[in-house]
Amino acid sequence: MNRWNTADTTLLCAALFFLMAVGFKIVFPGNVAAEGFLFVTEAALVGGIADWFAVTALFKKPLGFSFHTAILPRRRKDFVKASVVMVQQEFFSRRTIFKKLGDFKLMPRIVDYFAREETRKMVVEELFSMVKKFVAAQNKETRSKAIANELRRILRDIPAQGLINDFGAHFKRNDKDRELFISIVKAMRRTAAKPETCDKLQELLEEYANEKTKNMGGFSILMAGLAQMLDLVNFEEAARIMQIQLLKLLDELAADTQLHRRTPNECRLKISELSDTPEFKDLVERIQMDAATALPLEEAIELALIHLENQIKSPDARNLGGLIKKLFDDEYGRFLQLLREDTAAKVAFEKFVDELTARAALHAQPLVGVVAKSALDKLTEEQLNNLVYDKAEQDFIWIRLNGSIVGSVVGLAIFILIKAAGLSV
């Protein structure tokens, strides 16, 4: 604004020509050419000075003249406000924002960014880090108590009849009751096949015989002792025979025999009848209450949470931490595959991205005005003047040039009209 320019040169030339014309007028008084030259240069000088005053008055006080000058500094607030509105409504209007976003295809760039190996590793590591931080931030004691209390509440609130029916339906549906029956029979057979079982049977037979002979009198005791002496009654042999028969019975129960098929059915029937009795329901309810009270759930859950945290921290692929990272990596791969191959998923994600960017841009629209206002408010008067002047410098120069040019043309025309009318200047 303070730089010397073409308009200044033109105004200086007009002033020099005016002085020259004054000299011609003095030297050649009454000369028409001298008079015309003076008239034209005077008009050009006045026009140039007037437009210089007008342009300068926009930014400062020309020659110290303060009446309706320095318009931009005096109307600074209005100018800033108008500039902010123009930036928001013209440069960053809703239509302009949506048009620019529509022309700028984000989806291919997003897919390419997600497909980078470093992006994949970064996302997986960040997700895994969030899981580790979440687990580590948990208060194990408090969390275990809360989980234990909830489990106890659930265990107490389960209806006994519903629990019985669910267990029965589960065993029947999966044929688990038959497997359980076979397991019990096999366990009984392993116990029955031990030598200790035969000894126990012999003890029972001897105790039974002693009880019977005591109740039958002295003669019966004498005869029983005589029979044992003569080996007519051999409790050891009887116990061995009973063991053999018991093993045969258990083998038959474990094998696919008629007895095996009939016995579980009978057990089911008896258990079904038993489950309908109030006594059995009361027993189940007492078991529920005792289990809810007696089970050390807090300690078990706290140990499980500690073990879970240690498993997550371990980088070994076989531990939970490695499995979680692999899960995240696999799901990330499926996510990329969906974006590339699944049209519906691609359209849905693209719509989500477009809406997200549009909303973000609209929310940022007022911030553009805030930024513009803040920037303009921080400018000094000189900086603000230069900002406006520099944007329209050529136009301001031509305004001033036109003042001199138009002034000289109009002055020439007026001089010709005056002479044509026979008037004197």
Q: What is the pTM of this model?
A: 0.45
Are 264 and 177 within 8 A, CB to CB? yes
The 3-class secondary structure across 33-60, one letter per residue, is HHHHHHHHHHHHHHHHHHHHHHHHHHHC
Nearest Cα to 274, choosing from 156, 160, 159, 175? 160
Gap between the Cα atoms of 288 and 282, Å rounded: 10
Nearest Cα to 381, choosing from 62, 72, 85, 79? 72
How much is the pLDDT for 88? 67
In this structure, what token pair is assigned to residue 260?
């095996």
| Per-residue b or e along 304-337, where b marks 16 or more CB atoms closer than 10 Å to that residue's CB | ebeeebebbeeeeeeebbbebbeebbeebeeeee
- Match 């050419």 to its residue by tokens: 33
Residue type, position 244, single letter: I
**Ranges under pLDDT 70 in the chain:** 1-2, 88-104, 167-177, 208-235, 315, 317, 362-368, 389, 424-425
- pLDDT, tens digit, for every residue of 94-145? 666 666 666 667 778 888 888 899 999 999 999 988 988 888 888 888 888 8
Dihedral-angle region of residue 316 (phi above 0 means left; psi in -120 to 50 means alpha; beta otherwise): beta
Nearest 5°: the CA angle 193, 199, 204 is 115
Nearest Cα to 313, choosing from 331, 325, 298? 325
How much is the pLDDT for 68? 73
In this structure, what token pair is assigned to residue 6?
């073409």
How much is the pLDDT for 341? 83
Helix, strand, coil percentages for the chain (3-state, nearest 5): 85, 0, 15
How much is the pLDDT for 65? 72
CA distances to 58, 309, 310, 317, 326 from 313, in Å: 71, 6, 5, 11, 14
How much is the pLDDT for 272? 72
Helices of type H across 255-277: 258-275
Dihedral-angle region of residue 143 (phi above 0 means left; psi in -120 to 50 means alpha; beta otherwise): alpha
- Match 């989500």 to its residue by tokens: 352
Q: Residue ranges of the domains in the chain?
A: 175-255
- Match 């008067």 to its residue by tokens: 381
Gap between the Cα atoms of 167 and 161, Å rounded: 10
